[in-house]
Structure 1
Amino acid sequence: MANRILPFITLVFFSTLFSMVIGDDGVAISKQYPLVVSTWPFKEAVRAAWRAVDGGHSAVDAVVEGCSACEELRCDGTVGPGGSPDENGETTIDALIMNGVTMEVGAVAAMRFVKDGIRAAKLVMQHTKHTLLVGEKASAFAISMGLPGPSNLSSSDSIRKWSKWKENNCQPNFWKDVVPLDSCGPYHAKASMDVKEGGCSTRNLMGVAEPRSSLVGPHNHDTISMAVIDKVS
């Protein structure tokens, strides 16, 4: 039950959005701006972003307001403080933001004790030459920049989820090619090659990946991705 980050499908979402707005020939095909789009039916987050951009704020600020609303509401039980815990039972925060005009990026990951993930990511983008800060370094930076903290990010719900997961032998989880396979850790890497008697490897030399049984859905996908276009010049 490790924290989830934005996967490849998020890139597909933004690529699709760009194609919808700009078109395959590079010509804008819609004059309905501003525009706010997000994954999953998080309507309050979209409304918060819309109020910001419609009120004259930048697209970046609108994304911050929209994602902050989701953090406060704990959208899908995973976004923001009190959401999904990690393997140690602690809730930490991940967030990433990008300015589509300047291509600047800011992000925090595994940030402890600070609840405002998207605001911290924006501060990384605005006030450092880094792209990503992690763990307690991200926490110290965010607090030094004026965000509230330190505070406990766990909730009764997150602790309940973690306890239930532990009772289920720490299943499911995000480990692979480790032992033990079907119980809690500590985990150790499996031998990279299984050798038969006589020295011949039984490893799959074709490199064919084993099929994954899980399907993409609200609980094993990104938590929220949001794009805002304030205008097309």
Structure 2
Amino acid sequence: MRRAMFPVALAGLAAAAPSPGLPLAINTWGGPFVAATDAAYASLLQGGAALDAVETGCSVCEANQCDGSVGYGGSPDEACETTLDAMIMDGVTMKAGAVAGLRRIKNAVGVARAVLERTTHTLLAGDLATAFAVAHGFREETLATDASAARCAAWRAAACQPNYRLNVLPDPRR
């Protein structure tokens, strides 16, 4: 497999469907994100559609937790619960599907794609997004990890606000 790496100012992962040109999968970041790009590219080489490639690549990143900011175990909220957000867009139809505040479902991009393909909505959020996911066969499981639980314990012990609020009242130390 011949692969070229190009520095591109593009957020996320993008893929172009097989065409007279070469298949193309682009990702802004290196490091742990390269595996996601490789998976998307492999999907295209096997004849997958661009939407399949993007979902495949993002799913790899979610499963690998990439740099700790993607997937389960990342960025717990004030209640020390990790929730996930994902969005996927189809460049052919210009439709999008997204989830926000998705609870207890690890495959957020898969749920976002289900929103795109199985609803007239663009975005589902919170418990309703989770209920939709479960109704469509996605498995509920914890999104916490030992590392995310330890981060929350440290935040609470230091009377910090884990949601990264700045200059707010009430002061969390009181």
Q: What TM-score, normalized to structure 1? A: 0.62
Q: 1:165 aligns with which of 135, 139, 155?
A: 155
Q: 1:131 aligns with which of 107, 116, 122?
A: 122
Distance 2:109 2:115 in 1: 10
Secondary structure at the aligned position of 1:110 is classed as strand
Q: Are 1:107 and 2:98 matched, yes or no?
A: yes
Q: What per-residue deviation string (whole Å, max 9, x for no partner) do you get for residues 54-94 of structure 1?
A: 11011011000000000110111121112221111011111
Structure 1 residue aligned with 2:10 = 13
Q: Which runs of structure 1 show a deviation greater than 3 angstroms over 4 or more consecutive aligned residues? A: 171-174
- Alpha-carbon RMSD across the aligned residues, in angstroms, is 2.2
Structure 2 residue aligned with 1:35 = 24
Secondary structure at the aligned position of 1:95 is classed as strand
1:173 Cα deviation after fit: 4.0
Q: State the identity %.
A: 43
CA distance change for structure 1 residues 184 and 142 in 2, over 3 Å: closer, same or farther?
farther
Q: How does 1:61-100 map to 2 (within 5 A)?
A: 61-100=52-91
Distance 2:42 2:55 in 1: 12
Secondary structure at the aligned position of 2:71 is classed as coil
Q: What TM-score, normalized to structure 2? A: 0.82
Letter in 2 for 1:71: E
Q: 1:175 aligns with which of 152, 165, 173?
A: 165
Structure 2 residue aligned with 1:152 = 142
Letter in 2 for 1:165: W
Letter in 1 for 2:29: W
Indicate conservation of the 8 Å contact 2:76/2:162, yes or no: no
Listed as ranges, the gaps of 5+ residues in structure 1 are: 1-11, 22-30, 186-233
Indicate conservation of the 8 Å contact 1:114/1:142, yes or no: yes
* Number of equivalences: 158
Q: Which has the larger radius of gyration?
A: 1
Distance 1:33 1:180 in 2: 56
Indicate conservation of the 8 Å contact 1:71/1:79, yes or no: yes
